[in-house]
Amino acid sequence: MLAEQEKYISDDLLATESDNIFHKIIAVAEKNKVLEVALDLIQYNAQLSPILEHVHKQVGGKLVVCHGEIMKGIRARDSEQREKSMVDHIESLIRAC
């Protein structure tokens, strides 16, 4: 999944769908129903699509780095690392807006 996201960024393609899939996998794996429902709402809200595309362009390669850090925390079963990685990810998205 991360390699696919890197391809989108290096090819300057839109990575929204790949990003949605990544977050959906995380939500299911972590049994996070709130994240699952939030993703569904975001995915099916046509008004948010242009905003998400803009954010993806602004964040670029940082997105893959953030996702990689989140995956490291999940694989290590390190809740502190997961939380820190998620906070860093969300903050980078906020700065991009």
Give 24-70 pLDDT, tens digit per residue.
899 998 899 999 998 888 878 777 777 777 777 777 777 888 889 99
With a cut of 80, say whether residue 9 has pLDDT above it. no
- Distance between CA atoms of 48 and 22, rounded to whole angstroms? 18
**The predicted structure's pLDDT at residue 81:** 94
Q: Which has the higher per-residue pLDDT, 5 or 80?
A: 80
Number of domains in the chain: 1
Domain of residue 57, residue span: 2-96
Give 10-27 pLDDT, tens digit per residue.
554 446 677 778 888 999
- Distance between CA atoms of 36 and 34, rounded to whole angstroms? 5
For 40, the token pair is 């569904």
- pTM, two decimals, is 0.70
